[in-house]
Amino acid sequence: MVKEKFDGQTLKGVLELAEVKLKQHEKELNRLNVFPVPDGDTGTNMYLTLQAAKNAVTKLPTNSAATTSATMARGALLGARGNSGVILSQILRGIAKGLEAKERFSSLDFARALHIASETAQRAIVNPVEGTILTVVREASEKALQWAEKGANLKQTLVAVVAQARETVKRTPELLPPLKEAGVVDAGGKGLLYVFQGMKEYIGGKMTKIKVGSLPQATRAVTSPARYGFDLQFLIKGDNLPLEEIRHEISQRGESVLVVGDEKLIRVHIHTPDPKPILDYAASLGSLEDIQIEDMDEQVKNLRKQKGG
């Protein structure tokens, strides 16, 4: 039996179809978005992040799996948007770690890379909770290893991954009380389900549309008198950047903290009542780029108006 081998061209293809799936379901994911802040942008953020990854490799003059995966991961980091987008970029980064030095990869290589992706995403979160995209990628990666180690090909492995991701997404309201209260599943987790579905359909050679509606949909917005503050995102560029030190310092200044990257490029995401001290601190370490500051209270208010709340 000839063993399957896939390369960078495969990665480009699965990224392209996964991007299509996220675009198809962008509005649905935005409606599901209630955690950590009901600001209605998870679908948009995941789509833009994956689009950045795809654009980074579209004209890459090589079919090396290692080079393609590393390039897509960097593209995702540079273009990451929102909490869900940064986590997605770390999933892609983990896959790239798993495919280092590989010109071509097998089903088992992919399963192992997905396991590394889960660990990478988990480490990126300062205070991880169950019932989110982290739970979905972890359980999907466990299922991938289970099948691939038994000799399943990549298509069979991805079929198993999609089935597991779907079941995990259905369980997210039982794991995270705000989701159960709102009557929805986790938006980021369901977005990752669509990414996996795109991968499966590309490997299977199918371009069929997914039937929407099998999982619970948003029924109402979460209401809360709390002030949400600002969603702050930016890049730090420099030399010998102390990643762990920066993560520790910034994690003291807000919630939903993500500080990821390496000694030359770091992506920061945080929900904070005051962006200025964080930006001042980061500017003392290197040059700041792609600074985005969004008023989450205004976003939540506008979303409630749209829903008639």
Query: Residue 271's domain is classified under what CATH number?
Result: 3.30.70.260
- In the sheet with 265-272, reading across from the earlier edge strand, the strands are 255-261, 265-272, 230-237, 287-295
User: Could you tell me if 102 and 250 lie in one domain?
Assistant: no
Does residue 214 form part of some domain? Answer: no
Alpha-carbon distance of 68 to 53, in angstroms, equals 10
pLDDT digits (tens, 9 = 90+) for 85-111: 999 999 999 999 999 989 999 999 999
* DSSP letters for 129-142: -SSSHHHHHHHHHH
Distance CA 25, CA 8 (A): 26
Taking only the tens place, the pLDDT of each residue in 270-302 is 988 888 889 989 999 999 998 888 888 777 777
142: domain CATH number is 1.25.40.340
DSSP bridge partners of 258: 125, 269
Band of pLDDT at residue 308, cut at 50, 70 and 90: low
Q: Into how many domains does the chain fold? A: 2
d(CA 85, CA 267): 11
In a domain, 3, yes or no: no
Classify 110 as helix, strand or coil.
Answer: helix
Q: Is residue 268 part of a domain?
A: yes
- Where residue 303 falls among pLDDT bands split at 50, 70, 90? low
Same domain, 196 and 94: yes
Residue 56 lies inside a defined structural domain of this protein? yes
3-state DSSP assignment of residue 176: coil
Domain-embedded: residue 210: no
Whether residues 144 and 186 fall in one domain: yes
What are the pLDDT digits (tens) for 256-275?
A: 888 999 999 999 999 888 88
- Give the residue from 128, 149, 151, 134 showing the smallest Cα distance to 251: 128
Q: Are residues 164 and 72 in the same domain?
A: yes
Mean pLDDT of 225-232: 72
In 3-state terms, what secondary structure has residue 37? Answer: coil
The answer to whether the pTM exceeds 0.85 is no
Note whether 164 and 299 are same-domain residues: no
Same domain membership, residue 170 and residue 33 = yes
Residue 233 one-letter amino acid: Q
Contact 114, 98 (CB under 8 A): yes
Last residue of a domain, one of 164, 188, 203: 203
Residue at token pair 């108006």: 305
Same domain, 111 and 189: yes
Once rounded to an integer, what is the mean pLDDT over residues 178-196? Answer: 94
In a domain, 169, yes or no: yes
Query: Residue 16's domain spans which residues?
Result: 8-203
Residues 54 and 172 in one domain: yes
pLDDT at 301: 75
